[in-house]
Amino acid sequence: MFDAAELGQRVSKREFKERELELRTKLLTLQYRTQELARFPVLIDFAGVEGAGKTTTINMLNMWMDPRWIRTTGYQEPTQVEMARPRFWRYWRDMPPKGRVGLYLSGRYSRPLIGRVYDHIDEHEFDKRLSEIIRFENALVDDGALVLKFWMHLGAAQQEKRLRKLEADPLRSYQVNEEDWRNHENYENFIAAAEDLITRTNRVGAAWHIVEGGNENYRHLRVGEIIAGELGRHLDAQEQEAANERPPARVASPDTPQVVTVFDALDLTLALPKSEYKEKLATYQAQLGELGRKAQENGISTVLVFEGPDASGKGGAIRRTVWSLDARSFTVHQFAAPTEEERAHHYLWRFWKRLPRAGQVAVFDRSWYGRVLVERAEGFATATEWRRAYNEINDFEHQIVDHGTLLLKFWLHIDEDEQLVRFQKREKSPYKHWKLTDEDWRNRELWEAYEQYGQDIVQYTSTKKAPWILVEANNKGYARLKVLKTLIDHLSARLDDNGIE
């Protein structure tokens, strides 16, 4: 594999000058087209052997291209802010919007590779890390992104020579440290792990390109020309696709509807007297306040998701839930149509951004399930896109849970009649009629379709790690108490598990 990048490739200064001008013009033109189309982001990752010129190549690209639409991010050991979230949070945070280019140094590949070379992680863990990366890249590529990965290479002897030269250069000696030499001593291990890594994570749309790093002129031109070639091809395809695109079509119902759904199995008559509700509410809220304080002190984060038909009482349940929590410890996120900035990113981006830091509670009133509910209903997501979303959502949620966050997903369900009663009440109420829109009446027409969507959601995304809790919500009091009690039970079990009294 790497033999093909130990050939002593060279480009003379004169040839470089000639080819550079052409390449620069090409890259700029492509960058403008990308920015104008604003249909996909470009992520360019640099990995490879120490001393193979990753840094200078990134600098050169920044010089060649329009710096307004390019951003370079170099990663180090995760900061405290980063450690408080799942591993991929920082990579989602630093994702360029559609139309822009991100350059990454020591990115997602760096830690698994080094970990494997020094045996800090075993083969199984290495496999897992690579699988995480593959799923991350799949989500981006499936969404249209262009992901390019460069492995900058030097043979062992070349590397030694290069490190010595860098050390001797006062302007660049800072680039070489002890770790670089330690890596050099482990060259063979390093290369073996790199081959594994490249073989397993190479895919169309996120391909590895191995570039010989010994000669600066060659290296710069080669990287630039590969970017130009790949970006040009990707732009052509995406422009074509944009031209063929049809306006969204509303989808009435799945082609194989289920007669009975999980919602039919719910007993929506469940209710309780007002007095009992008031009494229990006060007790639960007091308990939750106490548990919430402990969770906050001990850095245990919680994510609560609320879904269900319009007027099923999500807002009311949320208000009663957060009532007794420390105001500094929670945020309620409401989701309407995405903003312009959000539309310029992967649909999960706006949710990744809002994951709570240690000890915090994030409440999602409507959530990423919009992808397989409203976006499916209105045709905003294509059939392929929403079908793919179940996996992407499972993966997202499993990352949240594996990080140690408590995740609870509540589906508040009411029946069609109850919704009508509530809509009519809202119409008449002077302080609630703003809550009712034409949209709501429109969605009501799709009642049955939405029940099917819900059935699919439970089937594909109710997992051991992140089960759905279906809440009978025709009676508001019953629903609110069930939400509170469920949260209390899970939170106190979690505190117990962590040995917190």
Where on the chain is the footprint of its own copies (CB under 8 A)?
1, 3-5, 7-9, 11, 123-124, 127-128, 131, 192, 195, 199, 202-204, 207, 210, 222, 225-226, 228-229, 232-233, 255-256, 258-262, 264-265, 383-384, 387-388, 390-391, 394, 455, 458-464
What the block records as the tokens of 325 is 């929590």
State which residue, 12 or 269, has the beta carbon closest to its own copies: 12
Minimum CB separation of residue 3 from its own copies in Å reads 6
Minimum CB separation of residue 175 from its own copies in Å reads 27
State which residue, 56 or 394, has the beta carbon closest to its own copies: 394
Strand, helix or coil for residue 364: strand
Count the residues in the chain: 501
Minimum CB separation of residue 128 from its own copies in Å reads 7
Going through 191-271 in order, the beta strands assigned E by DSSP cover: 208-212
State which residue, 210 or 304, has the beta carbon closest to its own copies: 210
**Of the candidates 205, 200, 139, 43, the residue with the CA atom closest to the CA atom of residue 395:** 139
Cα→Cα distances 189→77, 193, 263, Å: 22, 6, 55
Minimum CB separation of residue 145 from its own copies in Å reads 16
State which residue, 199 or 424, has the beta carbon closest to its own copies: 199
State which residue, 325 or 412, has the beta carbon closest to its own copies: 412
What are the phi and psi torsion angles at 214 (to 5°)? -65, -40
Minimum CB separation of residue 110 from its own copies in Å reads 22
**Of the candidates 461, 460, 486, the residue with the CA atom closest to the CA atom of residue 471:** 486
Minimum CB separation of residue 467 from its own copies in Å reads 9
Asked whether the beta carbons of 69 and 100 are under 8 A apart, the reply is: yes
Minimum CB separation of residue 274 from its own copies in Å reads 31
Strand, helix or coil for residue 232: helix
State which residue, 44 or 322, has the beta carbon closest to its own copies: 44
Minimum CB separation of residue 4 from its own copies in Å reads 4
Q: Where do the H-state alpha helices sit in 38-186?
A: 54-64, 80-83, 89-93, 110-117, 123-142, 156-168, 178-185
State which residue, 192 or 242, has the beta carbon closest to its own copies: 192
State which residue, 13 or 464, has the beta carbon closest to its own copies: 464
**Of the candidates 301, 413, 319, 315, the residue with the CA atom closest to the CA atom of residue 366:** 315
Asked whether the beta carbons of 414 and 308 are under 8 A apart, the reply is: yes
Q: Alpha-carbon distance 387 to 375, whole Å?
A: 11
Q: Alpha-carbon distance 222 to 153, whole Å?
A: 12
